[in-house]
């Protein structure tokens, strides 16, 4: 039986991956989202802070036998801001913007707090997180034959916007291949589903279309092949993993997928793979509903500088069927 993720960890990841606080200047504010208690160091390097902590769990049976149960967890989410020299807006404005954003995220993702979309938005070869490479043979992710994509090609993968990344291989028998590594932030034993999505197309003299595969790290093989025949315009191709999913997450927490041309180059005409966007939706075994139950301001204007804080009470739950 797989492990259930701590509700505070699920809510924390949701807030961290979705938080977009826009400053009056049009830029994005830096907001530190952590499980820690408020710390003054975070204020030195960011515009504001969000902390997430579990307050209480309540277990209730939903049927007379007690086999179907609902675990309701109360999570305290705090938005913090203080005046700093580098700020262009007042701390109360920043606090209000962060609090509005917490409300928006919890409402928008109330039915899917346990799902995280891993993609390439904002990433480049120098950043931590998900990675993308090109190659010409189905080598293991750790093999030396992969070349990391350029800054421009990472940007082409950011969005489904018809700006596309292209790989071409002209050697006889070579396929054009892209390899995608998504960094999973949850514990391996809590992950229950991963759905990879590739948007693009592929052509080759022998056969058109695209194939996608997932790396099984335990078996040491590319598996679960899905393919289509898209050769000239974008088509979405997806691959869903549930069974043995933990075997596909390597020791560094990466899930690896590849997309390749169905056919190979004949030495005269190249195999060409074109990709507009690639992403992976990861679901964990954890809370499947969340809602803001209330909030209050807990400002400390007696401190110098004052610390402005809004505390949210977030209710979340998980429904469990404990058997026959
Ligand atoms: Ca497109
Ligand atoms: Ca694109």
Query: pLDDT per residue over 190-221, tens digit each?
Result: 999 999 999 999 999 999 999 999 999 999 99
Report the b/e string of 116-149 with b at 16+ CB within 10 A.
bebbbeebeeeeeebbbbbbbebbebeeeebeeb
Ligand 2 centre from 238 Cα, in Å?
Answer: 17
Q: According to the model, what pLDDT value does residue 63 have?
A: 87
Q: According to the model, what pLDDT value does residue 213 have?
A: 98
Identify the helix (H) or strand (E) that includes residue 31: strand 31-34
**β-bridge mates for residue 324, sequence order:** none
End-to-end CA distance of the chain: 15
Instruction: Point out the ligand nearest to the CA of residue 275.
Output: 2
Instruction: Point out the ligand nearest to the CA of residue 154.
Output: 2
Ligand 1 centre from 163 Cα, in Å?
Answer: 8
Ligand 1 centre from 160 Cα, in Å?
Answer: 5
**CATH top class, domain 7-114+287-321:** alpha beta
Q: According to the model, what pLDDT value does residue 42 have?
A: 73
- Answer yes or no: is pLDDT of 171 > 80: yes
Ligand 2 centre from 19 Cα, in Å?
Answer: 22
Return the number of other C-beta atoms located less than 10 Å from residue 268's C-beta.
Answer: 8
Ligand 1 centre from 275 Cα, in Å?
Answer: 8
- Answer yes or no: is pLDDT of 86 > 80: no
Interaxial angle between packed helices 91-108 and 7-18, expressed in degrees from 0 to 180 and rounded to the nearest 10: 110
Ligand 1 centre from 156 Cα, in Å?
Answer: 11
Return the number of other C-beta atoms located less than 10 Å from residue 219's C-beta.
Answer: 11
Taking a 5 Å cut-off on Cβ, the residues next to ion ligand 2 are 156, 161, 163, 276-277
**Domain limits of the chain?**
7-114+287-321, 117-284
Q: What is 117-284's CATH number?
A: 2.60.120
Q: According to the model, what pLDDT value does residue 136 have?
A: 96
16 pLDDT tier (thresholds 50, 70, 90): very high
Q: What is the CA radius of gyration of the chain?
A: 23
By three-state DSSP, how is residue 54 classified? strand
Q: According to the model, what pLDDT value does residue 324 have?
A: 61
Q: According to the model, what pLDDT value does residue 1 have?
A: 53
Q: According to the model, what pLDDT value does residue 148 have?
A: 97
Average pLDDT, the chain: 94
| Rounded average pLDDT over 163-180 | 97
pLDDT in tens, 266-322: 999 999 999 999 999 999 999 999 999 999 999 999 988 899 999 999 999 999 888
């Amino acid at each position: 039986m797989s492990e259930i993720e701590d509700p505070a960890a699920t809510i924390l990841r949701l807030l961290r991956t979705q938080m977009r606080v826009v400053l009056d200047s049009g830029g994005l504010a830096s907001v530190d989202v952590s499980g820690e208690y408020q710390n003054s160091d975070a204020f030195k390097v960011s515009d504001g802070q969000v902390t997430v902590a579990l307050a209480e769990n309540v277990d209730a049976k939903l049927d007379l036998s007690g086999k179907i149960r609902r675990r309701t967890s109360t999570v305290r989410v705090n938005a913090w801001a203080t005046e700093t020299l580098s700020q262009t807006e007042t701390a109360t404005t920043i606090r209000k913007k962060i609090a509005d954003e917490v409300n928006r995220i919890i409402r928008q993702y109330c039915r899917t707090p346990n799902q995280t979309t891993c993609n390439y938005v904002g990433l480049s070869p120098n950043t931590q997180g998900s990675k993308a490479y090109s190659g010409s043979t189905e080598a293991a992710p750790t093999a030396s034959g992969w070349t990391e994509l350029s800054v421009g090609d990472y940007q082409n993968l950011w969005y489904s916007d018809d700006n596309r990344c292209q790989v071409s291989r002209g050697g006889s028998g070579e396929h054009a291949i892209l390899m995608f590594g998504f960094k999973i932030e949850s514990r391996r034993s809590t992950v229950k589903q991963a759905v990879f999505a590739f948007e693009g197309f592929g052509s080759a003299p022998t056969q058109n279309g695209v194939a996608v595969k997932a790396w099984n790290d335990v078996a040491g093989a590319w598996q679960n092949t899905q393919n289509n025949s898209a050769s000239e315009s974008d088509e979405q191709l997806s691959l869903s993993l549930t069974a043995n999913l933990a075997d596909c997450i390597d020791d560094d927490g990466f899930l690896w997928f590849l997309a390749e041309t169905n056919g190979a180059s004949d030495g005269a005409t190249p195999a060409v793979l074109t990709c507009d966007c690639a992403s992976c939706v990861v679901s964990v075994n954890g809370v499947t509903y969340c809602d803001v139950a209330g909030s209050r301001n807990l400002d400390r204007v007696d401190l110098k500088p004052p610390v402005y804080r809004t505390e949210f009470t977030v209710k979340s739950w998980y429904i469990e069927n404990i058997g026959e």
